[in-house]
């Protein structure tokens, strides 16, 4: 291939990197085209009245090493789904086992033996060596918890971020919970002396029966010196561990062994599984929603069937329908536009749940409705950035388990003499292999019928418009809105008018519906599991030298003198201080009066003092963004001592005019990270005080 052909191929795969020469690009493409990524699934169900554990392995579809549907049709004239063919799972292990970790851990050594063989490349018929890489684990919530060593149930059930069950409905909290890789979990368990000691002894739950002295020693090693009673110490340790109860499953026999040494350096857990998470959340919605519909509606049945429900409730259902659609999309349908759509839908749906359903539930408990299925959907957009919903779906694995059940029922004798595990398992394996070899899998026709029926129903759905976030919702949920913007900041970097715009009434309009461009030269690129990871991916990686332009709606509180304060919704100019000060903003072309002395930005230096969580003083310069480095005046901004990180109001004092006169600034809403936005003159506020605008960075 020529250098131009290689560059075009990498660009098509969204893997083009700046600064690489032809040989580097050639090697990169060669590695991608000769690497297959594997995914393992764990399922537990009843076969012949006994619990059986089944592991299945599938190869993930990657357009870098497999034909696309269009390419295959050009070659053969046949129109088939290549992704479906490639990702058909194969049974790997069938074992008689209960749901307890103790029994399931018995099969770890067998899995490790197979993983060691991944270091040996395969050779194709044409003599090309192909490498296999174990990439993902997926399954339902108990399976994910088992694989990563997370507790089952309790207040920390999430196998991805360890979020507290009592706060998962706070989207700003959930969105900012750090993704925990398997290596992070290993380090967390082994950080203290007793976690490491009992893990090396292969104790399933090394923290369960620690004495008071051991608890104190374990906490001290983690820098925690609080607590007096044993119960207090135990609670502190639980909060520190966030539900992690042991090292990940594959490290159980060698807790301190690096993942790279078992060929699992890139192995990650998928936090969202469409089949179970979406279906159970739909069940919860349909159970609770009728109790929250207006009484004037004829009946709950008519409200649901005929669509005679309020606009908010209809939006709740519409967003849920679209989330499910994207969660089942193929790799070919995964584009930057659909990724943005998934981000917007999941955030908007969560806000609508709080608005329509709220917390005064009638049929379900708050814990059940805002539980694991609700929380797992918050992981769906990030997961969709790397892997398609079709790949993460376990429907095919469920069909195989159903086939196993049918084989056992129709071909096995249930007489007591034959009802043993060896007979059941060997019979299943023989029949599964025979059906595969003879291409007579009895599920094929039913699957095709199901897919045709679903496609027909999907085609009858209305065309959904762009996501429009009402200004009222932004004002009511500023923290969650900010957290949402942080997760889509790579789209905001493209600038206003590319992926979003603002209506005259202050609503934010995202260009994410079908019919808009699927990608933009302004970015972002489409990420992929072949070169990106959940742990390593952050929007900041793409914006280290620039600053996101964010849709911003000022929150007007009762503490302000009037509601006539102009809205400024953008970060504009790149303003930086000579001494490494932090960029805050500019105000060019924003229908605001000029800031003092024609300044277009404010730079706050790094000299910020924090005392008991209270920000006290930040030194800043008022600068002119149009004249690099020109300082128009110094200004001190001091936050009162009653500043809190819990959404309390804060009184702000600032020197804002050229005469350096201290002016009292009305109270503004405090968020986790505050920065000066700009200063609005008094003549536009109807008050003798200037208004200090703040933006969250």
For 554-576, what is each residue's pLDDT tens digit?
A: 332 233 222 222 223 222 333 33
Tens digits of per-residue pLDDT, 223-271? 999 989 999 999 999 999 999 999 999 999 999 999 999 999 999 999 9
Which pLDDT does position 544 carry in this prediction? 35
Q: Quickly count: other Cβ atoms within 10 Å of residue 212's Cβ.
A: 14
pLDDT mean over 349-358: 93
Distance CA 119, CA 345 (A): 41
Beta bridge partners of 586: 601
pLDDT tier at 457, thresholds 50, 70, 90: low
Nearest-angstrom CA–CA distance, 606 and 576 = 12
Rounded to an integer, the average pLDDT of 15-34 is: 89
**Among 25-39, 63-77, 392-406, 646-660, which stretch is predicted with the lowest mean pLDDT?**
646-660
SS3 243: coil
Residues 6+ apart with CB under 8 A from 384: 326, 327, 334, 338, 339, 342
Query: CA-to-CA distance for 277 and 293, rounded, in angstroms?
Result: 24
Using 50, 70 and 90 to split pLDDT, how confident is the model at 643?
Answer: very low
Say if residue 681's pLDDT is above 70. Answer: no
Over residues 135-150, the mean pLDDT reads: 93
pTM of the model: 0.75
pLDDT of residue 629: 38
Q: Please give the average per-residue pLDDT across 417-435, as a whole number.
A: 74
Contacts with 364 (C-beta within 8 Å, 6 or more apart), sequence order: 284, 287, 288
**Could you tell me whether strands 268-269 and 35-47 are parallel, antiparallel, or unpaired per DSSP bridges?**
unpaired
pLDDT exceeds cutoff 50 at 455? yes
Say how many CA atoms lie within 13 Å of 542 toward its Cβ. 21
User: What whole-number percentage of the chain has pLDDT above 70?
Assistant: 70
Range from 366-380, 527-541, 584-598 that averages highest in pLDDT: 366-380
At residue 577 the predicted structure's pLDDT band, cuts being 50, 70 and 90, is very low
Quickly state the pLDDT bin for 434 (edges 50, 70, 90): confident
32, pLDDT greater than 70:
yes
Q: Give me the mean pLDDT over the 541-556 stretch.
A: 38
Q: What pLDDT was estimated at residue 196? A: 95
Q: Which of 30-39, 64-73, 182-191, 666-675 bottoms out in mean pLDDT, i.e. has the lowest?
A: 666-675
Q: How far apart are CA 673 and CA 677, in angstroms?
A: 12
Phi-psi region of 162 (alpha: psi -120 to 50; beta: other; left: phi over 0): left
- 452 — pLDDT class (breaks 50, 70, 90): low
CA distances from 538 to 90, 476, 489, 527, 675 (A): 34, 27, 9, 11, 22
- Please say if the pLDDT value at position 33 is more than 80: yes
User: Does 453 have pLDDT greater than 90?
Assistant: no
How many alpha carbons lie under 13 Å from residue 35 in its C-beta half-sphere?
A: 15
Q: What is the end-to-end Cα distance of the chain in Å, rounded?
A: 45
Residue 249: its pLDDT value, please?
95
More confident residue, 463 or 472: 472
CB distance 496 to 545 below 8 Å: no
- For the stretch 197-207, what's the b/e string if a residue is b when 16 or more beta carbons lie within 10 angstroms of its beta carbon? ebbeeeeeebb
CA 294-299-300 angle, 5° bins: 75
Ramachandran angles phi, psi of 644, nearest 5°: -130, 165
Q: What would the mean pLDDT of 351-372 be, rounded to a whole number?
A: 92
341-350, 541-550, 559-568, 627-636: lowest mean pLDDT where? Answer: 559-568
Which segment of 28-32, 175-179, 336-340, 639-643 scores lowest on mean pLDDT?
Answer: 639-643
């Amino acid at each position: 291939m020529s250098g131009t052909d290689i560059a075009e191929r990498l660009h098509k795969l969204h893997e083009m990197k700046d600064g690489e020469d032809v040989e580097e690009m050639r090697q990169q493409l060669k590695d991608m085209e000769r690497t297959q990524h594997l995914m393992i699934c764990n399922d537990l169900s009843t076969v012949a009245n006994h619990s059986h554990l089944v592991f299945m392995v599938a190869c993930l579809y990657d357009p870098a090493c497999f034909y696309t549907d269009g390419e295959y049709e050009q070659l053969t004239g046949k129109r088939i789904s290549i992704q479906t063919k490639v990702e058909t799972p194969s049974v790997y292990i069938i074992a008689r086992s209960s749901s307890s970790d103790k029994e399931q851990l018995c099969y770890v050594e067998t899995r490790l033996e197979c993983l060691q063989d991944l270091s040996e490349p395969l050779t194709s018929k044409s003599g090309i060596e192909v490498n296999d890489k174990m990439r993902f684990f997926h399954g339902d919530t108990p399976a994910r918890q088992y694989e990563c060593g997370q507790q089952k149930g309790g207040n920390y059930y999430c196998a991805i971020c360890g979020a507290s069950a009592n706060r998962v409905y706070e989207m700003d909290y959930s969105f900012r919970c750090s993704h925990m890789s398997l290596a992070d979990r290993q380090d967390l368990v082994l950080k203290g002396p007793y976690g490491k000691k009992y893990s090396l002894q292969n104790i399933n739950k090394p923290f369960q029966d620690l004495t008071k002295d051991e608890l104190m020693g374990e906490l001290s090693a983690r820098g925690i010196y609080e607590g007096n009673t044993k119960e207090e110490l135990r609670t502190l340790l639980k909060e520190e561990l966030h539900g992690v109860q042991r090292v990940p499953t594959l490290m159980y026999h060698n807790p301190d062994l690096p993942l790279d040494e078992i060929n699992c350096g890139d192995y990650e857990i998928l936090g969202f599984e469409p089949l179970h998470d979406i279906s159970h959340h739909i069940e919860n919605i349909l159970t609770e929603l009728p109790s929250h519909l207006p009484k004037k509606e004829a009946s709950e049945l008519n409200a649901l069937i005929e669509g005679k429900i309020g606009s908010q409730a209809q939006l709740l259902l519409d967003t849920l329908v679209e989330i499910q659609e994207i969660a089942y999309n193929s790799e070919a349908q995964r584009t930057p536009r659909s990724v943005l759509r998934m981000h917007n839908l999941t955030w908007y749906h969560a806000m609508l749940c709080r608005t329509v359903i709220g917390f005064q539930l009638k049929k379900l408990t708050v814990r059940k409705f805002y539980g694991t299925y609700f929380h797992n959907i918050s992981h769906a957009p990030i997961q969709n950035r790397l892997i398609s919903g079709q790949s993460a779906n376990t429907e095919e694995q469920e069909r195989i388990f159903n086939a196993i059940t049918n084989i056992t029922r129709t071909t096995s004798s249930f007489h007591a003499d034959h009802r043993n595990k060896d007979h059941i398992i060997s019979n299943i394996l023989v029949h599964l292999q025979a059906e595969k070899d003879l291409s007579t899998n009895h599920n094929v026709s039913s699957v095709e019928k199901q897919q045709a029926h679903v496609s027909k129903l999907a085609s009858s759905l209305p065309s959904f418009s762009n996501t429009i976030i009402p200004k009222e919702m932004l004002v009511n949920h500023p923290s969650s809105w900010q957290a949402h913007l942080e997760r889509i900041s790579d789209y905001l970097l493209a600038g206003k008018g590319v992926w979003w715009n603002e209506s005259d009434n202050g609503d934010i309009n995202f260009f994410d519906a079908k019919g808009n461009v699927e990608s933009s030269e302004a970015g972002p690129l489409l990420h992929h599991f072949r070169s990106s990871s959940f742990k390593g991916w952050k929007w900041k990686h793409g914006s280290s030298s620039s600053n996101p332009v964010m849709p911003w709606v000022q929150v007007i509180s009762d503490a302000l003198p009037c509601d006539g304060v102009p809205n400024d919704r953008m970060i504009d100019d790149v303003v930086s201080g000579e001494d490494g000060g932090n960029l805050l903003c500019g105000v060019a072309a924003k229908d605001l009066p000029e800031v003092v002395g024609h300044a277009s930005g404010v730079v706050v230096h790094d000299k910020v003092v924090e005392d008991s969580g209270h920000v006290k003083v930040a030194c800043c310069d008022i600068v002119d963004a149009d004249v690099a480095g020109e300082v128009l005046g110094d200004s001190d901004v001091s936050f009162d001592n009653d500043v809190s990180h819990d959404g309390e109001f804060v009184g702000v004092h600032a020197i804002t005019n050229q005469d350096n006169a201290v002016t009292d600034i009305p109270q503004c809403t405090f968020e986790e990270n505050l920065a000066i936005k700009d200063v609005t003159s008094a003549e536009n506020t109807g008050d003798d005080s200037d208004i200090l605008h703040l933006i969250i960075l």
